[in-house]
Chains A and B, each alone.
Chain A
């Protein structure tokens, strides 16, 4: 655990638990860990900022990656020893890269990494790209890595690689919602032109055609319309959504006393298409009946577990009608 390169003989380890009789949930620490943590605690207490202290933090987070106290201690050591020395801080990032690859689920790493980059005199986005890529490649929906990537993009103010980056992961798995959200992050920060928005709409539609029952591109498509187009859907988009609901709206439905549909279920390729159409039709007084039919269809056949929500929407429609 401890490197013989460093001498810790002068340090008297501090206790790491109260050892009180009958203490609840006492962890049975092994002797190695007690010794290591005891030394770390003692050095932390005496605020020692040294190479050997850095080495101790290294050993502790390898055993307990979530040890936030030790990450904080490490940060203070690094700041004291390296200051704004770019080369030394790059070395720290190298060490962190390797540690990250071995501890993909830990997330103390990312706020530590942010702190180091903020300390660095010449931080580089390019330096961050390989680790970001390999982490997401390995775990394509890792929340903290995607979030850290967005932080980097904003920190370095460089959006140029992002649509392509997210696109690669969507190509690999069209259901990867993290990648879809990343595209929206780009759009919202980058003030796209009307043409670029149109291109994104086309892109979303192409992805929907590959797999119509996929919530991610439908949410994205609706998101773009709500965020950039004031919720106005073009006739083409309505046509597009209609192409996934078969003859649903051509059927004659009768709604019985319990409010459910009596007919046989028409074939629908995507419940999300129906949901989008219900949203669109809800905005137009002349189409309210169609919106209602869509909600009843979702309740009866296509997404019944969300009945309470669909009924909530129906309730809003009735309120609108009453006006």
Chain B
């Protein structure tokens, strides 16, 4: 396997990037290298220069760690997450003052993905109390005390509450009817959903946040879904992925995930061009970095392990086949997104860990170690470990939550 990796790296070096740096000096054991001539025409621009830097640091890491059997440093990352749940956050995080439910979801979900017990009763109590205190009458939810309800914050709040195992009957306190009326009010003539009643963007992200919450709370009515499918179809671009708005926006990993997960919720994946979507997803994975970029000719970033990996997992679950290389993605996650020096997971080498990346890189890791198969409904996607031992619990790739939490949460509202 290591041999194969080195020859792969070398081949891309020579062929795809026309790199000047000699890589032979650090490879010596490969026997089966196939001779590939370098590209003759390689134009150097901002894009290739930026990428080259990233390729070099990733390769150095793969070389350095090639004999190591690397695992997720769970106890180590737990420290980072526990610290944030047991201490106040520094003043500079006031930049997230309007996104407080996100912190709870990212941190809570990361803990639970590694070990359900690590999200203690105390934490569940803290999450539910904070969210229910900050909102008026149990939702729709907002970014923090005294703020307006917001579609994206509402999604983060509801998913964070889903992690709480109905602590102190907090699920009964969610104002399902209020959320439903508000979602209807956010619906736009073009079929999308706006994030806020007056000024707010209307894109596939908001649409996913509306549909996934509605699906979980069992309020996914035909009235709510009217026109959504048409809106989403128009967001698929000539590249195969989806943009934010139905105006030929550039295909993007985050928006693609939101559109595809929304279509899975609607049970309408067949209305899009799945073949070109699979092509686009597979084209996001780089031979050298091994992880995903979010758009054509952009840099690898650990969070797309989930945005693109999750899209691929949904397609896999619905029987369209596998279009990504899971073991290679796993390599990127474990070797390039984590270090022994600092807990938490990161975008790429050279970047600092943060809660957002910790959560989405972990969700991506779960995708690399499971196979997915839908069983009857979108709420019940079988997530079976590929090998005996998985580091992350099974997840539902449409909702970004541990399967067990999602299923329990959905069951609560199903009658």
Residue numbers of A with Cβ under 8 A of B are: 14-18, 20, 22-30, 33, 37, 41, 44-45, 63-69, 71-72, 75-76, 107, 110-112, 115, 140-141, 143, 146-147, 150-151, 154, 172-178, 180-181, 184-185, 188-189, 209-216, 219-220, 222-223, 226-227, 264-265, 267-271, 301-309, 312, 315-316
Which of A172, A215, A265, A306 has the most chain B CB atoms inside 10 A of its CB?
A306
- Which one of A26, A146, A213 lies within 8 Å of B42 (CB-CB)? A213
B207 smallest CB distance to A (angstroms): 15
Interchain Cβ contacts under 8 Å between A and B, 28 examples = A23-B126, A25-B89, A25-B107, A27-B91, A28-B89, A28-B90, A33-B91, A37-B97, A66-B95, A67-B143, A68-B196, A68-B199, A69-B150, A72-B199, A76-B198, A112-B199, A172-B45, A175-B48, A210-B43, A219-B238, A222-B238, A265-B36, A269-B40, A301-B11, A301-B34, A305-B285, A305-B290, A306-B283
Q: Are B99 and A66 in contact (CB under 8 A)?
A: yes
Binary CB contact string for chain B from 18 to 47 against chain A (1 if under 8 A, 0 otherwise): 000000000000000011110111110111
Known: A23-B126, A68-B200, A175-B297. 14 other contacts (CB 8 A): A16-B97, A37-B97, A63-B94, A66-B98, A72-B197, A111-B199, A143-B252, A150-B247, A214-B297, A215-B283, A216-B296, A226-B238, A265-B34, A305-B325
CB neighbours (8 Å) of B244 from chain A are 143, 147
- Which one of B96, B127, B290 lies within 8 Å of A27 (CB-CB)? B96
CB neighbours (8 Å) of B290 from chain A are 305
Q: Are A25 and B85 in contact (CB under 8 A)?
A: yes
How many contacts A-B (CB < 8 Å)?
244
Q: Are B144 and A17 in contact (CB under 8 A)?
A: yes
Q: CA of A316 to CA of B99 in the docked complex: distance in angstroms?
A: 45
Q: Are A308 and B323 in contact (CB under 8 A)?
A: yes
Q: Are B145 and A213 in contact (CB under 8 A)?
A: no
Q: B324: nearest residue on chain A (CB-CB)?
A: A308
- Which one of B11, B130, B237, B328 lies within 8 Å of A23 (CB-CB)? B130
Q: Given A72-B148, A76-B198, A309-B323 in contact, is the A140-B89 Cβ separation under 8 Å?
A: no
Q: B11: nearest residue on chain A (CB-CB)?
A: A301
CB neighbours (8 Å) of B251 from chain A are 181
Q: B282: nearest residue on chain A (CB-CB)?
A: A309
Is B195 engaged at the interface, CB distance under 8 Å to the other chain? yes
3 shortest A-B CB distances, which residue pairs?
A: A223-B238, A309-B282, A175-B47
Q: How large is the interface on B (under 10, 10 to 19, 20 to 34, 35 or more residues)?
A: 35 or more
A34 smallest CB distance to B (angstroms): 10
By DSSP majority rule, is chain A's interface helix, strand, loop, or mixed? Answer: helix
Q: CA of A86 to CA of B85 in the docked complex: distance in angstroms?
A: 49
Is B54 engaged at the interface, CB distance under 8 Å to the other chain? no
- Which one of B46, B143, B295 lies within 8 Å of A69 (CB-CB)? B143
Q: A147: nearest residue on chain B (CB-CB)?
A: B249
Q: Are A25 and B97 in contact (CB under 8 A)?
A: no
Is B219 engaged at the interface, CB distance under 8 Å to the other chain? no
Q: Are A27 and B328 in contact (CB under 8 A)?
A: no
Q: Which of B307-334 contact A (CB under 8 A)?
A: 321-325, 328
- Which one of B104, B107, B129, B297 lies within 8 Å of A215 (CB-CB)? B297
Q: Which of B265-309 contact A (CB under 8 A)?
A: 275, 278-279, 281-283, 285-287, 290, 295-298
CB neighbours (8 Å) of A111 from chain B are 195, 199-201
Is B147 engaged at the interface, CB distance under 8 Å to the other chain? yes
CB neighbours (8 Å) of A172 from chain B are 45-46
- Which one of A29, A71, A212 lies within 8 Å of B199 (CB-CB)? A71
Q: CA of A43 to CA of B323 in the docked complex: distance in angstroms?
A: 53
CB neighbours (8 Å) of A44 from chain B are 146
Which of A27, A214, A270 has the most chain B CB atoms inside 10 A of its CB?
A27
Q: Are B126 and A181 in contact (CB under 8 A)?
A: no
Is B118 engaged at the interface, CB distance under 8 Å to the other chain? no
Q: B287: nearest residue on chain A (CB-CB)?
A: A305
Q: CA of A303 to CA of B142 in the docked complex: distance in angstroms?
A: 45
Q: CA of A271 to CA of B36 in the docked complex: distance in angstroms?
A: 13
CB neighbours (8 Å) of B84 from chain A are 25
CB neighbours (8 Å) of B127 from chain A are 24
CB neighbours (8 Å) of B15 from chain A are 213, 268, 302
Q: Are A68 and B143 in contact (CB under 8 A)?
A: yes
Q: CA of A222 to CA of B279 in the docked complex: distance in angstroms?
A: 13
B282 smallest CB distance to A (angstroms): 4
